[in-house]
């Protein structure tokens, strides 16, 4: 397995272009199942998770081609299969996003339960309850969700106890061709939901309430193929802003959307990091000492749970106490043990982590445990004195498009060693 090595303590200077959003592209690629024809998707990142969902679509009967590095054409004329196998789903739980579109298109879907992952149990009960409200019959057998609907899905009112991101996305893709009106209450409001709504509207769907927690879908008889551009990846953007905060320097991020990170901007400025937002760019400068701050992860527009591990690495470089509450997932502190190997002083108490910033870290051999934890270790390695060696970096490849190349280009001494 490949390793990433970092000679830390170097500040970063220059410009980095942000890639398309992983969590924008996944539901939009799944949405191409909704109707026959060829869909065009721009600004698609090159990631392992994108390759996985394309592989899944091919098993269902779709074909695809990359027109250029970041443009995909997907043809879904012949969607004949309706099963998403355990082999594929266990590598990426977002495969559950084919449930809604398959039920809409074929009236049938058989998707493996995703199983847990490093950060939590990750149930999909909200997805199943919502689809049942729309008329699907769902059985759980042999680890699979077996869903079928006779006479087509029918509109209804769905309420989410917790604003589930992929739950909202699945309900939208199930409701667009349903008979009648569907209201989704306490819907997730992440920008990736709006990106999917723009795709579905381009296909002819009728959806009101974009960017709010109350979505109203008028079912239509049919849809047509569409073109869409994936929004910039706000989590990659946030990860790089935090990286410059930890390493120090002056970097401009381009092809990004500053408006998608309201909470992080507040927090980084309170940390003493200078941020200058343009229309589609952000200049980040850190030259002085860092101030400790407290974090509570919340659904959008609150502080993203997907940036919690990264901001924790930054807090180890302050000289004060920071309290981090992880309110979304029950086990998202796997990076703590690895940061401790680098000299961090962090105490975990349930969903709360207390970071006693020592203003320094020492390079060490560490192991990535999940996607965002691996980004946290890269950030720690950039700030640490000496050499850091990160193993199991296949986690990083799931969600970051050439992070090593992007950081090298702004002066980081970071490289990748192929596995023995
Ligand atoms: C999406 O996951 C993202 N993934 C995650 O990003 C992100 O961390 C998460 O939203 C929260 O923002 C994609 O968009 C592909 P949820 P999702 O349903 O939809 C509970 C990354 O690093 N819940 O919003 O799976 C759940 O356990 C990934 O890019 C249920 O209880 O998350 C969690 O506590 C990691 N039952 C909370 O809701 C359900 O049926 C929010 O989960 C569904 C969710």
- Mutation probe of ligand 1 site: the residue of 165, 213, 297, 301 with most atoms within 8 A of C-beta: 165
Q: What is the pLDDT of residues 101-118, one digit of tens each?
A: 999 999 999 999 886 677
Cα(123) to centroid(ligand 1), Å: 9
Query: Can you give the length of the chain in residues?
Result: 420
What was the pLDDT predicted at 116? 66
Q: Above 70 in pLDDT, residue 66? A: yes
286-299 average pLDDT score? 97
Q: What is the DSSP track for 331-359?
A: T--HHHHHHHHTT--EEEETTEEEEE--S
Q: Above 80 in pLDDT, residue 235? A: yes
Label residue 343 by pLDDT band (50, 70, 90): very high
Q: What percent of the chain has pLDDT over 70?
A: 100
Whether 117 is a known active-site residue: answer yes
Q: Which residues contact 7 (CB under 8 A, 6 or more apart)?
A: 363, 386, 387, 413, 414
Q: b/e per residue, 178-210, with b = 16+ CB within 10 A?
A: beeebbbebbbbbbbbbbbbbbbbbbbbebebe
398 lines ligand 1 (CB under 6 A): no
Q: What is the pLDDT of residues 399-408, one digit of tens each?
A: 999 999 999 9
Least confident of 68-77, 85-94, 111-120, 405-414: 111-120
328 lines ligand 1 (CB under 6 A): yes
50-60 average pLDDT score? 96
Q: What is the pLDDT of residues 116-148, one digit of tens each?
A: 677 777 789 999 999 999 999 999 989 899 999
Cβ atoms within 10 Å of 10's Cβ, excluding its own: 17
d(CA 268, CA 262): 10
161 lines ligand 1 (CB under 6 A): no
Report the largest interatomic distance among the alpha carbons of the chain, rounded to a whole angstrom. 65
Least confident of 13-17, 245-249, 416-420: 416-420
What was the pLDDT predicted at 180? 98
Q: Which atom, in ligand 1's list, is nearest to the CA of 304?
A: 12
d(CA 412, CA 404): 9
**Residue of 326, 312, 387, 325 whose CA lies nearest to 357:** 312
What was the pLDDT predicted at 284? 98
> 122 — alpha (psi -120 to 50), left (phi > 0) or beta?
left
SS3 86: helix
> Of residues 35, 117, 256, 271, which has the active-site annotation?
117
127 lines ligand 1 (CB under 6 A): yes
Name the average pLDDT for the chain: 96
**Residue of 220, 143, 237 whose CA lies nearest to 177:** 220
170-184 average pLDDT score? 98
Question: The whole model's pTM is what?
Answer: 0.98
Cα(111) to centroid(ligand 1), Å: 17
> 206-208 and 387-391 as β-strands: parallel, antiparallel, unpaired?
unpaired
Cβ atoms within 10 Å of 289's Cβ, excluding its own: 11
Q: Above 90 in pLDDT, residue 3? A: yes
SS3 per residue for 228-258: EECCECHHHHHHHHHHHHHHCEEEEEECCCH
User: Where do the domains of the chain lie, and which CATH numbers do they carry?
Assistant: 3-18+233-417 (3.65.10.10), 22-229 (3.65.10.10)
What was the pLDDT predicted at 387? 98
């Amino acid at each position: 397995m490949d390793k990433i090595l970092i000679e830390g303590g170097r500040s970063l200077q220059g410009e980095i272009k942000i890639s398309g959003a992983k969590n924008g592209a996944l539901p939009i690629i799944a949405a191409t199942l909704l109707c026959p024809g060829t869909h065009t998707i721009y600004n698609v990142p090159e990631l392992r998770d994108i390759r996985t969902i394309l592989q899944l679509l091919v098993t269902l009967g779709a074909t695809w081609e990359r027109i250029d590095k970041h443009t995909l054409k997907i043809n879904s004329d012949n969607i004949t299969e309706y099963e998403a196998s355990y082999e594929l789903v266990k590598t990426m739980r977002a495969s559950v996003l084919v449930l809604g579109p398959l039920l809409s298109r074929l009236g049938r879907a058989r998707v493996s339960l995703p199983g847990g992952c490093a950060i939590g149990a990750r149930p999909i009960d909200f997805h199943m309850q919502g689809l049942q409200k729309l008329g699907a019959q769902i059985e759980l057998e042999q680890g699979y969700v077996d869903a079928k609907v006779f006479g087509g899905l029918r509109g209804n009112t769905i309420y989410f106890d917790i604003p589930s991101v992929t739950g909202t996305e699945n309900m939208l893709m199930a409701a667009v061709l349903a008979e009648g009106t569907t209201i989704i209450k306490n819907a997730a409001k992440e920008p990736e939901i709006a990106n999917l709504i723009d795709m579905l509207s381009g296909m002819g769907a009728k959806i009101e309430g974009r960017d709010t927690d109350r979505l109203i879908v008028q079912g239509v008889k049919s849809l047509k193929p569409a073109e869409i551009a994936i929004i910039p990846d706000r989590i990659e953007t946030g990860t790089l802003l935090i990286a410059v905060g930890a390493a120090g320097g002056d970097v401009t991020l381009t092809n990004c959307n500053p408006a998608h990170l309201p909470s992080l901007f507040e927090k980084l400025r309170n940390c003493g990091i200078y941020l200058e937002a343009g229309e589609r760019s952000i200049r980040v400068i850190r030259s002085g000492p860092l101030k400790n701050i407290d974090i509570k992860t919340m659904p959008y527009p609150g502080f993203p749970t997907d940036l919690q591990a990264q901001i924790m690495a930054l807090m180890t470089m302050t000289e004060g106490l920071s309290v981090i509450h992880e309110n979304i997932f029950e086990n998202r502190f796997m990076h703590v043990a690895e940061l401790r190997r680098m000299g961090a002083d962090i105490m975990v108490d349930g969903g709360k982590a207390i970071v006693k910033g020592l203003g320094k870290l020492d390079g060490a051999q560490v192991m990535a445990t999940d996607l965002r934890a691996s980004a946290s270790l890269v950030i720690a390695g950039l700030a640490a004195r000496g050499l850091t060696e990160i193993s199991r970096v296949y986690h990083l490849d799931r969600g970051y498009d050439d992070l090593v190349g992007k950081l090298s280009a702004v002066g980081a001494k970071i490289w990748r060693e192929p596995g023995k």
